Amino acid sequence: MAPFIRLKSISKHFADVVAVDNLSLDIEKGELFCLLGASGCGKSTLLRLLAGFESPTKGTIEIDGQDMAGVAPADRPVNFMFQNYALFPHMSVADNIGYGLRRAGMRGTELGERVESLLKLVRLQKLGGRKPHQLSGGQRQRVALARALARRPKLLLLDEPLAALDKKLREDTQFELVDIQEKLGTTFIVVTHDQEEAMTLAGRIGIMDAGQLVQVDAPRSLYERPKSSFVADFLGTISFVDAIVASCDKTSITIGGDLNICAASDDDLPVGSAVKLAIRPEKIYLSRTKNGGVNEIEVVVEDLAYLGFATNYRVKTASGQMFKLQQQQRRSLDAPLSWGETGYVHFDPQDVIVLKD
């Protein structure tokens, strides 16, 4: 069966700017897909192409097996939720939500009931008569969601849906959004620059850079097994080590002679080839004493930041290699290492990511 949404090598040029560059992507029905990238990477343009506000310079967009070329936004089984919500300021909440239904010719009690059920879905039952500027940011966001869902679209496009909310509200709303998506079974495509938001919401994430998809995967795979240093660096914090393959049981990698790091790799890497190793901070353990395992390196504490639930360290080897690591304080009696003290870092070969770029 064909995927629900199929983007076939689409490009979008604005004058001499290439916003989307030969991008292909399949999305299944009922998925909650996140497009993640820095601002200006083309993710919003991609969303506007799907909505029909822009048409691609090259390539085809298929939604539910139908070619969308020349199909107006109104005629697509798609609705759009705007970053600034774009609520009609002169209309009440109920009129905003009912706008799409009225355009479809719905009137009277049928309209009233549908609007009422949508208000209930987003928990705004009593606020139907308010004007948008009489609502809080979170309430406005829910009105925008209800309005976009009113016509029962097969696909809902959300442009930075939570960006305008403060941090605490954003966390609650993330789960609410997932709940609503699961309840309705509508396919959601969410554009965001916030990686935590993407990790929380999405079944799959597509990371975009310079108009192209760098990697498309489940959040866990993206974080644990990034395929490029761009993705590894983009998601969370990571320490990179430039290395030369010197062969070991699986793959042993040496740099500069004094560091000997063992890494597990599925690929057979030729001896002498240059690679990049990447290790997540929470996968590195720091101790005062040597305990003689694999991947044990002597370091000096350069910098530390106490966060309460954990401490972030920046440590340096004798050869000048930096590692960023995060140490959880499990037993508060442990005397933590302080500035300038010498200790040892340890990490499992399984946790070392081998990147070929």
Partner 1 sequence: MVRGMAKYLVNLPAVTGRRLVIALPLIWLAVFFFLPLIETLQVSFTSARRGIPPYEPLWGIGDDGFFTNFTTGNYALLLQYWSDYFGPAFNSIKLAFFSTLVCLIFAYPMSWWIARSNEKWRTILLVLVMLPFWTSSLLRIYALIGLLNPNGFINAAGLWLGLIDAPIQMMQTDFSIYMGMVLTYLPLMILPLYAVMVRLDADLLDAAADLGGSGMQIFRTIILPLTLPGIIAGSLLVFIPAVGEFVIPALLGGPDQLMMGKVLWTEFFRNRDWPVASAIAMLLLAILTVPIIYARYQDGRDTVAEMPNPKRAEAG
Residues making contact with partner 1 (CB under 8 A) = 51-53, 72-74, 78-80, 82, 84, 86, 88-90, 99-100, 103-104, 124, 126-127, 130-131, 133-136, 139, 147, 150-151
**207 in Cβ contact with 37 (< 8 Å):** yes
CB of 187 to partner 1, least distance (A): 16
C-alpha 72/C-alpha 70 separation (Å) is 6
Nearer to partner 1, 89 or 185 (CB): 89
CA dihedral of 59, 65, 71, 77, whole degrees rounded to 10: -130
CB of 156 to partner 1, least distance (A): 11
The DSSP secondary structure of 61-83, one letter per residue, reads EEETTEE-TT--GGGSSEEEE-T
Nearer to partner 1, 63 or 150 (CB): 150
Q: Measuring CA to CA, how many Å separate 66 from each of 2, 56, 116, 142, 167?
A: 11, 16, 32, 30, 39
CB of 205 to partner 1, least distance (A): 25
Three-state secondary-structure class, residue 310:
strand
The amino acid at 3: P
C-alpha 234/C-alpha 110 separation (Å) is 48
**234 in Cβ contact with 259 (< 8 Å):** no
Provide φ and ψ at 315, rounded to 5°. Answer: -120, 160
Count the neighbouring beta carbons within 10 Å of the beta carbon of residue 294. 14
CB of 148 to partner 1, least distance (A): 8
Nearer to partner 1, 153 or 343 (CB): 153
β-pairing verdict for 32-36 and 187-192: parallel
Nearer to partner 1, 18 or 127 (CB): 127
CB of 124 to partner 1, least distance (A): 8
CB of 278 to partner 1, least distance (A): 40
Strand partners, 79: 156
CB of 306 to partner 1, least distance (A): 35
Nearer to partner 1, 139 or 287 (CB): 139
Nearer to partner 1, 115 or 235 (CB): 115
Nearer to partner 1, 52 or 226 (CB): 52
